[in-house]
Structure 1
Amino acid sequence: MLRKYVIEREVPGIGSNSAEGFCTVAGTSNTALARLGTRIQWVHSYVTADRTYCIYLAENEEVIREHARLSGFPANRITEVVTMIDPTTANRTAVSRVA
């Protein structure tokens, strides 16, 4: 079963990348993902000036570290997501855990 993770990557200047630069970064990640098969999936990433916050589904942290090694990207912090909340959570009687 794949679990959801947030990966914080410190990449100085990443936010000033061009569209072509982001295409290259995504292609590098996709190549590493293809090598790892169904054990890991990239959902999406949020980019700030000097960091990315990437959402992944993976079997475990070790697969994420292997992806980082293959792609050449740092994985400075890996955190498993235990639940999700949003504004509608205030209207619920229970909050479900992320499986």
Structure 2
Amino acid sequence: MFDREITDVEWLTSWFTNRWVALCWSMAFTFVGGIAATLIWGKHQPGEKEAAFNRAEAGWLERSREALEPLPEHRFANGVPGYLKPGWIAAILVGITVICLFTWFW
């Protein structure tokens, strides 16, 4: 879909070229495609996937699996250090993002 703000195509109506109308069209096409797929192939029944998996023969991948030992939550003996906790890292990234946005892009 073309956008009138980028290229002015006079012979196309605004129903196809407006940015917000194009957003509505894309949602409508997605919705109609989902409904059509449901009508053609039917709804997914709960447990159908598990039943198909259980009755399938074990392939080479299933036969090659070995039992693994349980993995530790982390590799540190006394717990995760404070500087490696995700809260601090997220706060630092948010701070850097705010500084970049208000410095270069404002």
Q: Into which bin does the TM-score normalised by the smaller protein fall? A: under 0.3
Higher relative contact order (CA 8 A, sep 6+): 1
Structure with bigger helix share is 2
TM-score norm. by structure 2 comes to 0.21
Q: Which protein shows a greater Rg?
A: 2
Q: Which structure's residues are more often strand, by fraction?
A: 1
